[in-house]
Structure 1
Amino acid sequence: MVRCEPLVAIVAGEASGDQHGAYLIREVNKLAPNVRFCGIAGPNMRAAGVTEVLFDSSQLAVMGLVEVIAHFKTIYSALEKMRRFLQERRPDLLILVDYPEFNLRLAKTAKGLGIKVLYYISPQVWAWRQYRIHKISRLVDMMAVILPFEVSFYEKAGVPVRFVGHPLQHGVKSKLSRDEALIKFGFNPGCKSLGLLPGSRRSEIKRLLPILLDTAEKIYLQEPEIQYLLPVAPMLTEADIVPFLVGRKLPLKVISGCSYDVMAACDVMIAASGTVTLEAALMEVPLVVVYKLKFLSYWVGRLLVKVNHIALCNIIANEGIAPELIQQDASPERITQEALSLLRDKKQAQRVRQKFQVIKDKLGASAEMTIAELTIAMLAQ
């Protein structure tokens, strides 16, 4: 138990990191309520207990080379603000949550100041740009990983590592059954439902939501009884979504604040690649995974990526359980075909659910220690 009042700087750069960071903060506060957290945070981390927010992480939620360049001024401003904070306040520990391009630069500053660095949610160096492992070994005092296979990767490179379990394995659930969730949202439980999840970044909404809505309209022409749910990601608002719905004639509801209840209501989902694909697996909801980047970002990514799948659920399972439609394949026609296949074929959907159950079992493997215990251990050193 930590008896002083340690100051922890924590940084998350997008919606999933904000969610995982909030989990860490809540768990630490259960064991050591006097620990203070400051840094870059989103709404979940603020609610969990970040007392001083230096920058809103929603402003940093961009993906792709071209997109990062376009937002360079904002990102650099946040980096400089955090560097000044480290220099002036000298926190007892810096916790970095995913977001590697930004966070590894900040780790270098912390290392120069003698501040311990705990990296939570490993950069996907096992998937692409594996040479970054050497930088991590120089800059990070402890890597806390959430996927079991990541441990051996870091051990081989001589990086101190602990498997702390996946933060979603206990939190991804709804108290409602499918029928109860549909009734809650004013839909008919006797009809099938399709979830549209275009992502948590505004750039993803702009790029993917029109495609998902075109897909929904094509499906609606063939299956007019299907109902559509569109949950709003935590770092977005309905105002980010509504302009795209003008002129659309669909039985669709935009829903804020209860994403797992939305998933519980869905027979099938169409989702942008990201943490949501793992959440779908844990909720055992069949899904089609889609993604598009600007051409240059995609071209560079293809040269660097070393894995066979992009969806987390498929990476963990090491097989293509959920169909992945990327770039030109992410067309309304192709997405419609895959989604209707899952909606119409009960046996196929059931096979997907069974394989998702295996993923749940893998993530539930015994962790060496929790992320909260590891955080407190590092503060006590």
Structure 2
Amino acid sequence: MSLEEKSPIQTIKEIKKKSKTVMIVAGEASGDMHGGNLVREMLNIDPALTFYGIGGNRLQKEGVELLANASEMAVVGLTEVVSKLGRILKIMRMMKRSLDERRPDLVILIDYPDFNLPIAAAAQKRGIKVFYYISPQVWAWRKSRIGQIKKTVNKMAVILPFEVEIYRQKGFEVNYVGHPLLDMVKLNYSKQESRKKFDLAPDKITIAILPGSRPSEVTKLLPELMLAARILKSDMPDIQFVLPLADTLEAASVTEIISSSHVKVKVISGHTYDAIACADLALVASGTATLETALLGVPMVIVYKISLLSYCIGRLFVDVKNIGLVNIIAGKTIVPELIQADAGGKRIAAEALSILKNGERKQEMIKELEAIRAKLGETGAARRAAQIACDMI
């Protein structure tokens, strides 16, 4: 039967059969960001692909049908999971059911291992291929997960160069695609143009405050960061503050904490990189933001604070000297890290003043940060990862 002779129903069935469906899971803000870029690149290769899964604004913007929002699942620390465990398990059951109901041609998982590895196992059990983009931090803790990854993941793309050898030693070949932030960390304005746009004084010392992308992080860190801001303002009256608001946060929750500190802070939405780059120093919650700040060449103090129980449990398993991605990639401590009790306002302010008042230390830090970019490979990570994923379908 020729195409002209086929009924409309037959034609529609054939089109549906030919179109490919991809399930994608990004349980955190950074995963949503990288996932959005990956989906865009995959659609450039094959515009007929359809996507569904878990993510945030970035994945939704690229046309992904969200069955759950990443904001419902974002937590920091082991004990913090408890408050959202019921919801997380409900979402996991829903995603596993979708493997039977929708039979995706490929499952793409982005970091978020405690949720994603069970999903990988469920997909593998059903004969559905699994592509893992951005490895769990097995080099930092729970290396035993590599065995589970080998059994349930068909292909993995890693974004840090040293991860290749870690997996190779365990008999699992992975693809190093470079770091996706190299394509993303770009500026629209010069430092002075940004300060003018954000209504900041052109010649004042400027501090960027990055309290994290999860509400639980902000609750713990922002009050201490604002105490540090108050101390800095007292010591250096001619200083100003800017806070780039993560798109996973509600502005009201941030401004409420800021207003109680009685320190003026300019909250900026939608121009994260320009807001960071216009600063002389950044106070940054440990995570992807530290690497973004490094690529912008801005000196920083890394802060990290979770519940005491989570911290104590984590210390039993963590196998790295540093927690900041910048220092881990550098292979040494190039920016200060203030963890738990050390991440108090007074200590944060003291560390910031030490950098601001020591020009030589500040310049050395900037020099070390410039070297980070060279260690992250070449641009085009999302494009290379997208090609791997499309080749699996």
- Quick check: TM above 0.5? yes
> Which residue does 2:11 correspond to in 1?
none
Q: Which residue number in structure 1 is paired with residue 54 of structure 2? A: 40
Q: Using the alignment, how far apart are the partners of 2:253 and 2:88 within structure 1?
A: 21
| 2:47 is equivalent to residue 13 of structure 1 | no
Cα distance in 1 between the residues matched to 2:60 and 2:94: 18
Q: Aligned partners of 1:247, 1:75: CA distance in 2, in Å?
A: 33
Task: Tell me the distance in 2 between the aligned counterparts of 1:173 and 1:342.
Answer: 25
In structure 1, what is the equivalent of residue 4 of structure 2?
none
2:171 to 158, 164, 185: 158
45, 54, 78: which one aligns with 1:31? 45
Deviation at 1:373, TM superposition (A): 1.0
The one of 60, 78, 93 equivalent to 1:65 is 78
In structure 1, C-alpha distance between the alignment counterparts of 2:174 and 2:384, rounded to whole Å = 13
Query: 3-state DSSP class of the match of 1:200?
Result: coil
SS of equivalent to 1:188: coil
Equivalence for 1:231: 244
Q: Which of the residues 94, 104, 110 maps onto 1:91?
A: 104
Structure 2 counterpart SS, 1:138 = helix
What is the TM-score when the length of structure 2 is the normalising length?
Answer: 0.93
Residues 61-96 of structure 1: per-residue CA shift (max 9 Å, x gap): 102111101210111111011111111111000000
What is the distance in 2 between the residues matched to 1:366 and 1:206? 35
Distance 1:170 1:352 in 2: 23
Kindly provide the amino acid, as one letter, of the partner of residue 8 in structure 1: V
**Residue 94 of structure 1 contacts residue 116 of structure 1 at CA under 8 Å; is this kept in 2?**
yes
5 Å-filtered alignment, 1:267-286, equals 267-286=280-299
Name the CA distance, whole Å, in 2 between partners of 1:375 and 1:263.
Answer: 33
Say which SS state the counterpart of residue 79 (structure 2) adopts.
helix
* CA positional deviation for 1:344: 2.2
Which secondary structure state, in structure 2, belongs to the residue aligned with residue 66 of structure 1?
coil
* Matches of 1:172 and 1:92, distance apart in 2: 32
Match of 1:197 in 2: 210
Which of 127, 130, 133 is equivalent to 2:140?
Answer: 127
Q: Which amino acid aligns with 1:222?
A: D
> Which residue number in structure 2 is paired with residue 342 of structure 1?
355
Give the aligned residue type for 2:96. Answer: R
C-alpha offsets along residues 290-311 of structure 1, whole Å, 9 cap, x if unaligned?
A: 0111111000111100111001
The whole-number CA distance in structure 1 between the counterparts of 2:300 and 2:70 is 28
Q: With structure 1 as the length reference, what TM-score do the two structures score?
A: 0.96
Please list the CA deviations of residues 303-336 of structure 1 after superposition, one character each: whole Å capped at 9, or x if unmatched. 1001110010110001111100001111111111
One-letter amino acid of the structure 2 residue matched with residue 245 of structure 1:
I
Q: Secondary structure at the match of 1:127?
A: coil
Give the aligned length.
Answer: 376
Q: 1:258 to 1:367 in 2, by over 3 A?
A: closer
Q: Distance in 2 between matches of 1:246 and 1:192?
A: 21
Tell me the CA shift for residue 249 of structure 1. 2.3
- Opposite residue 40 of structure 2, the aligned amino acid is R
Matches within 5 A, 1:80-229: 80-229=93-242
Which residue type is aligned with residue 162 of structure 2?
Answer: F
Percent of paired sites with the same residue: 46
1:222-245 superposed Cα distances (whole Å, 9 cap, x missing partner): 011111011111111202212212
Deviation at 1:160, TM superposition (A): 3.3
Displacement, 1:366?
8.0
1:4 Cα deviation after fit: 4.1
Q: Provide closer, same or farther for how the CA distance between residues 108 and 87 of structure 1 changes in structure 2, counting only shifts above 3 A.
A: same
Shift of 1:365: 4.5
In structure 1, what is the Cα distance between the partners aligned to 2:77 and 2:231? 29
Measured in 1, the distance between the counterparts of 2:161 and 2:325 equals: 13
Residues 179, 378 of structure 2: 8 Å contact kept: no
C-alpha separation between the residues in 2 aligned to 1:345 and 1:292? 27
Per the alignment, residue 378 of structure 1 pairs with 392
Q: Which has the larger radius of gyration?
A: 2
Kindly indicate whether the alpha-carbon contact (under 8 Å) linking 2:179 and 2:379 is maintained by their aligned counterparts in 1. no
The alignment status of 1:49 with 2:50, answered yes or no, reads no
- Whether the 8 Å contact between 1:143 and 1:159 is mirrored in structure 2 is no
Q: Could you list the per-position Cα deviations for residues 176-205 of structure 1 after superposition, in whole angstroms to 9, with x for gaps in the alignment? A: 111111111101111110011110000011
| Counterpart contact for 1:163–1:367, Cα < 8 Å | no
Distance in 2 separating the partners of 1:141 and 1:160 = 10
Matched residue SS, 2:261: coil
Contact residue 176 and residue 264 of structure 1 kept, 8 A:
no
Measure the CA separation in 1 of the matches of 2:21 and 2:187: 34
Q: 1:48 deviation in Å?
A: 2.0
Give unmatched runs, 5+ long, in structure 1.
none
Do 1:141 and 1:160's aligned partners in 2 also have CA atoms closer than 8 Å?
Answer: no
Return the alpha-carbon distance in structure 2 between the equivalents of residues 367 and 237 of structure 1.
Answer: 32
Equivalent-residue separation in structure 1 for 2:48 and 2:323 (angstroms): 40
Q: How does 1:254-273 map to 2 (within 5 A)?
A: 254-273=267-286
Cα distance in 2, alignment partners of residues 230 and 190 from structure 1: 18
Q: What's the Cα RMSD here?
A: 1.5
After TM superposition, the structure 1 stretch with the greater mean CA deviation from structure 2, 8-17 or 353-362, is: 353-362
Of residues 352, 365, 369, the one that matches 1:352 is: 365
